[in-house]
């Protein structure tokens, strides 16, 4: 995220701050718009002069020379519109890219709780649809407003020099039209924001439905999922109808005023002509100017919808940008990690808005190089405790130290670079197998990737594939088996080679034979490293230095496998069941 931007300022100030890096294109866009508007303003005056002087004076040669110049001027206007269309949109694209860069970067800095509260489809809607609407507003907003202002103000000034009484009619009708626009503006903003929210919801349902399509088909629940989608779709349709109703009121009111202007000019102009205070040439000139500024007014009417959508998107963008990122120390500050013993002292933790502690007064000391296994019933707090060590969440009470240093005094990036995690829920990117393994240490050589795959017992499987390490994994690794996905994720850790390991059900998707083969590799990797293993298969952690049994957020039992079996307590019961 651009640290130079102050997102506590007004929404409009934030919006305009994105113009600054591309001010050259913005000025070019408005300069071309000014030239195009000037051509439109000059033509009625030229036509009036032709009707007053050239044609009555039979200055035909001069007349055609002037018309040629006018034709060249309109050719220049066409060139200006090309520049406006191309470079103006390029300006918008660059602003959009900056917005998306800041938004994505800021989202990466937000804590896990934010992503727990927000669905992927809704966030994707903010990254795409909202930013597109903001871009349209960034490009067309200033440009259309500038063209309309120059054209309307210039036309009215010229009309006053021709016949001030007739120009006064236009000056009276325009403010009335403006009041109508302002009265409809608030409702349009509200309904447009509602559309954005419903669109995010429907995107969330689509993302959920497509991501879970295999589960849906397995349970034959297509109709149930469709019903959820249909509800969101109907709500979106209703909000969209409200939005168009508000815009319809705006557009129809504006259309009435735009249509009544020629009628008013004809009626009042006819009366002035009857009084011999104006001739037909001036009346025709007035008609030309009315058509000149009615066009930009109509464009403003279309822009109002763009502005409402863009402003709603901008508001939602600013909402996220104002969220506080994960609390962290500034770059260059923070203590280094020099030792890898872990001290968990009287730690309690509850998830946001949850009054029940998931971890309650846990104290645990793990020596550097020691392997500690954590077992217990599902929901007992095993995974949560391990998520506190890399600061995915911060403790509510107590402290966690690594090498004697409170982890809150270590930068998160420094802390996490020293910790390798293989999670129970494996996530693979839609990329090649090689790149998924290389994610453990970006910049690793192909040889290092191959070596990591061999250690993770996935090398033979990869080489049996048609494209080898270049094989595509599919969305979330769908083209690989569960065991292959798990072993690719394990290969990442071998490549990362961290001093602290957290294995959260790391072998849960492996068959017994493969698990036995890879367990030896894990034992080798764990040598000299601080290792925490969460396991349901208790047979895999018999050789751990210590076994901790956690239930209901508390440590219930602690000791070696043999010691715990002799106790005949909860661990012994679980082991016999497993």
The residue among 268, 286, 321 that closes a domain is: 321
Q: Tell me, yes or no, whether 230 and 155 share the same domain.
A: yes
Tell me how far apart the alpha carbons of residues 386 and 392 are, in angstroms, rounded to a whole number.
Answer: 9
Distance CA 420, CA 503 (A): 8
Q: Is there a single domain that holds both residue 347 and residue 316? A: no
Q: 310 with 430, same domain?
A: no
Last residue of a domain, one of 288, 321, 354: 321
Angle, helix 280-321 to helix 23-49, in steps of 10 degrees:
170
Q: Is residue 194 part of a domain?
A: yes
Q: Does residue 180 belong to any structural domain of this protein? A: yes
In a domain, 328, yes or no: no
Mean pLDDT per 10-residue segment, the chain (578 residues): 68 87 89 86 80 78 85 90 86 87 85 76 76 82 80 83 83 76 68 72 70 61 76 80 76 74 81 82 78 73 74 86 78 82 92 76 92 86 88 90 91 88 79 89 90 88 90 80 82 88 75 70 78 80 86 89 87 77
Please check whether residues 317 and 346 belong to one and the same domain: no
CA distance 234 to 482: 37
Structural domains counted in the chain: 2
pLDDT of residue 463: 92
What domain range includes position 398?
342-577
Asked if residue 2 belongs to a domain, the reply is no
Q: Are residues 354 and 486 in the same domain?
A: yes
Is 5 inside a domain boundary?
Answer: no
* Residue 329, in any domain of the structure: no
Residues 6 or more apart whose Cβ sits within 8 Å of residue 299:
144, 147, 148
| Cβ atoms of residues 373 and 533 within 8 Å | yes
pTM of structure = 0.68
Q: Are residues 302 and 413 in the same domain?
A: no
Classify residue 330: in a domain, yes or no.
Answer: no
Q: What backbone torsions phi and psi does residue 355 show, to the nearest 5 degrees?
A: -80, -15
Residues 293 and 358 in one domain: no
- CATH code at position 563: 3.40.50.300
The two most distant CA atoms of the chain are separated, in Å, by 121
Q: What is the pLDDT of residue 517?
A: 67
Judge contact between 549 and 564, C-beta under 8 A: yes
Angle at 87 between CA 84 and CA 92, to 5 degrees: 100
276 and 371 assigned to the same domain = no
**Structure token pair of residue 283:** 């009346």
Cα angle: 128, vertex 132, 135; to 5 degrees: 140
Going by C-alpha positions, the residue among 342, 386, 345 that lies closest to residue 368 is 342
504 DSSP β-pair partners: 534
Residues 501 and 472 in one domain: yes
Q: Where are the alpha helices (DSSP H) in 163-221?
A: 164-211, 213-218
Phi, psi (deg, nearest 5) at residue 366: -115, 120
**CA–CA separation, 515 vs 521, rounded Å?**
10
Q: Which long-range contacts (CB under 8 A, 24 or more apart) does 137-140 make?
A: 137/306, 137/307, 137/309, 137/310, 137/311, 137/313, 137/314, 138/15, 138/18, 138/19, 138/91, 138/92, 138/95, 138/96, 138/310, 139/29, 139/88, 139/89, 139/91, 139/92, 139/95, 140/92, 140/303, 140/306
Question: What is the token pair recorded at 74?
Answer: 């309109």
Smallest CA-to-CA distance from 145 within 313, 311, 30, 280 is with 30
Last residue of a domain, one of 256, 287, 321: 321
Q: Give the residue among 487, 532, 497 at the shortest CA–CA distance from 384.
A: 532
φ, ψ dihedrals at 409, nearest 5°? -100, 5
DSSP 3-state of 536:
coil
Q: How many residues does the chain have?
A: 578
Residue 255: what pLDDT? 72
> From CA 456, how far away is CA 451, in angstroms rounded?
9
Residue 278 in 3-state DSSP? Answer: coil
- DSSP H helix total and E strand total for the chain: 19, 10
What's the CA gap between 478 and 210, in Å, rounded?
13
CA–CA distances in Å: residue 432 to residues 132, 449, 462: 30, 12, 11
Where residue 183 sits, what CATH number does that domain have?
Answer: 1.20.1560.10
Same domain, 106 and 55: yes
- C-alpha 552/C-alpha 291 separation (Å) is 76
3-state helix, strand, coil in the chain (%, to 5): 65, 10, 25
Distance between CA atoms of 554 and 550, rounded to whole angstroms? 5
Asked, for residue 524, whether it belongs to a domain, the answer is: yes
299 lies in the same domain as 368:
no
Whole-number pLDDT of residue 343: 93
Closest by CA position to 558, among listed 409, 358, 344, 403: 344
316 and 256 assigned to the same domain: yes
Cα dihedral: 451, 455, 460, 463 (round 10):
-30
């Amino acid at each position: 995220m651009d640290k130079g931007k102050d997102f506590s300022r007004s929404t409009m100030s934030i919006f305009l701050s994105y113009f600054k890096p591309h001010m050259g294109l913005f000025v070019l866009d408005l300069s071309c718009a000014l030239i195009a508007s000037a051509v439109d303003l000059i033509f009625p005056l030229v036509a009036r002069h032709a009707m007053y002087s050239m044609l009555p004076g039979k200055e035909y040669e001069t007349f055609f020379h002037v018309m040629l110049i006018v034709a060249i001027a309109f050719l220049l206007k066409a060139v200006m519109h090309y520049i406006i269309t191309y470079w103006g949109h390029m300006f918008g694209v660059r602003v959009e890219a900056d917005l998306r860069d800041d938004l994505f970067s800021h989202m990466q800095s937000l804590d896990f709780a934010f992503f727990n509260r927000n669905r992927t489809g809704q966030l994707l809607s903010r990254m795409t649809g909202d930013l597109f609407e903001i871009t349209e507003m960034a490009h067309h907003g200033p440009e259309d407003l500038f063209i309309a202002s120059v054209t309307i103000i210039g036309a009215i000034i010229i009309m006053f020099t021709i016949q001030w009484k007739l120009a006064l009619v236009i000056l009276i009708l325009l403010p009335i039209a403006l009041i109508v626009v302002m009265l409809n503006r608030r409702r349009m903003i509200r309904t447009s924001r509602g559309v954005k929210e419903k669109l995010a919801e429907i995107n969330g349902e689509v993302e959920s439905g497509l991501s879970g399509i295999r589960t849906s088909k397995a349970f034959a629940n297509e109709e149930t999922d469709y019903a959820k989608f249909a509800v969101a779709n109907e709500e979106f349709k209703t909000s969209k109808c409200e939005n168009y109703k508000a815009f319809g009121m705006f557009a129809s009111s504006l259309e009435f005023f735009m249509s009544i202007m020629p009628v008013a000019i004809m009626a009042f102009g006819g009366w002035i002509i009857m009084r011999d205070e104006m001739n037909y040439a001036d009346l025709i000139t007035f008609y030309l100017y009315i058509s000149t500024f009615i066009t930009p007014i109509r464009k403003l009417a279309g822009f109002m919808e763009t502005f409402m959508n863009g402003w709603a998107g901008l508001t939602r963008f600013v909402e996220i940008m104002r969220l506080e990122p994960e609390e962290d120390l500034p770059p260059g500050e923070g203590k280094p990690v020099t030792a890898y013993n872990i001290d968990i002292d009287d730690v309690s933790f509850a998830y946001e808005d949850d009054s029940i502690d998931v971890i309650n007064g846990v104290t645990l000391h793990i020596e550097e190089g020691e392997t500690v296994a954590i077992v217990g019933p599902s929901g007992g707090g095993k995974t949560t405790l391990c998520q506190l060590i890399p600061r995915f969440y911060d403790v509510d009470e107590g402290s966690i130290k690594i090498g004697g240093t409170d982890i809150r005094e270590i930068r998160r990036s420094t802390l996490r670079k020293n910790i390798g995690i293989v999670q129970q829920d494996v996530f693979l990117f839609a990329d090649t197998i090689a790149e998924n393994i290389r994610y453990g240490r970006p910049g690793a050589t192909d040889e290092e990737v191959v070596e990591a795959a061999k250690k993770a017992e996935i090398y033979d499987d990869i080489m049996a594939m048609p494209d080898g390490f270049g094989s595509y994994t599919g969305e979330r690794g769908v083209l690989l088996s569960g065991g292959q996905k798990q072993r690719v994720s394990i290969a990442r850790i071998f490549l990362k080679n961290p001093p602290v390991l957290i294995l959260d059900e790391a072998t849960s998707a492996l068959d017994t034979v493969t698990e036995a083969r890879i367990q030896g590799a894990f034992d080798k990797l764990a040598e000299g490293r601080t290792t925490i293993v969460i396991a349901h298969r208790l047979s895999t952690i018999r050789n751990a230095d210590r076994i901790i049994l956690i239930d209901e957020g508390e440590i219930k039992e602690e000791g070696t496998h043999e010691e715990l079996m002799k106790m005949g307590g909860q661990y012994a019961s679980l082991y016999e069941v497993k």
